[in-house]
Structure 1
């Protein structure tokens, strides 16, 4: 029996309880015993964290103590897997050591939901997380992230230049242009190693409709399994 800890909370806009409830039955079906925590105190419990094969986090716009961050990071370095999606992992805390662990941090998204495409990188098309996943059409938030070049990027999204939905119009009423003048392609799904542990991140998942979209659900479920402790 494998052991998973689900840690959820923070801003309700990312529906941490319904979102994690989507994946708990999947984990149990894969032979995990699942323990749910609605606070971050478990990260400061070294014995409990060392016993976990996987930590699934959905916690947005919160605060983590140095002790909690150190406990999580130490567990991952020792082999505990760490996985999550959207703001629940890369928009969680303002903590430098935590950002090193995840390999990325959210900095911006265009106003509202936008139509865009998640594209699997051709040279990663046989990776077990994204195998047989074609381009995925999305209507949701598109995350601009700052990321570590050591990440293994599996899929990307592109920000096209054009009218800036976040900016006021020019004095003559014409739309203000985006500050970038050419397409910017950014990581959207990646993995990384941190010590003996594995980390999986997907930036897709603002709402339940995103996570229940079949290819996104498949990517997320595969990512949870990929990140699990390697024995």
Structure 2
């Protein structure tokens, strides 16, 4: 189930469409929803192997947030990228306990920066075989739960706002009950996924999170 909508600046339909053929090629029957009401359908969520969310900002009904969390705890996978998963439903604690992180800010514009897969996690199927790679996009500063498995980081350099470099999680997974969650901070614009490593880790993350 691909759930998409919210702020149009993240092109939720166009960018999530990039992954529909991949999912279908891997045997998924793909449905799309452009309303959060789908999270109120407990039977549908229970029958869903993977929820891919691309929904920036907005508000979610508390009962829908709880139902989504319960479905993942029961085994439904949950995955997403950038603001479509990290800048969603601010202030909803159930949702942020599910994702393990929340967007706080990014420096103005698109920046050249490097993503570093974590060497200690090199065997994880999402990042296996990937080395450091460069991107030109928004660099997310996020608040994260300590109970996440960080797979890749990016570094904010020392400068006017900080007197020392800060290493920030940018790709992670977590386990939520019986379900798995994949989150990547990369993906503001469609051509971010033209970077082979970004496309690869995102596709692998979707498969990893699936039931």
Is 2:55 the partner of 1:73? no
Look up the SS of the partner of 2:17 in the other structure. helix
Which residue of the other structure, out of 147, 150, 154, is the alignment partner of 2:147? 150
Counterpart mapping for 1:153-168 below 5 A: 153-162=150-159
Which residue of the other structure, out of 105, 119, 124, is the alignment partner of 1:127? 124
Look up the SS of the partner of 2:127 in the other structure. coil
Which residue of the other structure, out of 103, 106, 123, is the alignment partner of 1:106? 103
Could you tell me the TM-score, scaled by structure 2's length? 0.98
Cα-to-partner distance string for 1:84-120 (whole Å, 9 max, x where unaligned) = 0000001011111100100000001001011100000
CA–CA distance in structure 1, aligned partners of residues 57 and 195 of structure 2: 24
Q: 1:203 is matched with which residue? A: 185
Counterpart mapping for 1:1-231 below 5 A: 5-94=1-90, 95-162=92-159, 177-178=160-161, 180-229=162-211
How many pairs does the alignment contain? 210
Runs of 4+ in 1 over 3 A off after TM superposition: none
CA–CA distance in structure 1, aligned partners of residues 67 and 94 of structure 2: 11
CA–CA distance in structure 2, aligned partners of residues 6 and 68 of structure 1: 16
Q: 1:169 is matched with which residue? A: none
CA–CA distance in structure 1, aligned partners of residues 124 and 13 of structure 2: 29
CA–CA distance in structure 1, aligned partners of residues 167 and 200 of structure 2: 23
**RMSD value, Cα:** 0.6
CA–CA distance in structure 1, aligned partners of residues 205 and 22 of structure 2: 12
- In terms of Rg, which structure is larger? 1
Structure 1 residue 197 displacement after superposition: 0.3
Look up the SS of the partner of 2:187 in the other structure. coil
Structure 1 residue 212 displacement after superposition: 2.6
For structure 1, the 5+ residue unaligned runs are: 163-176
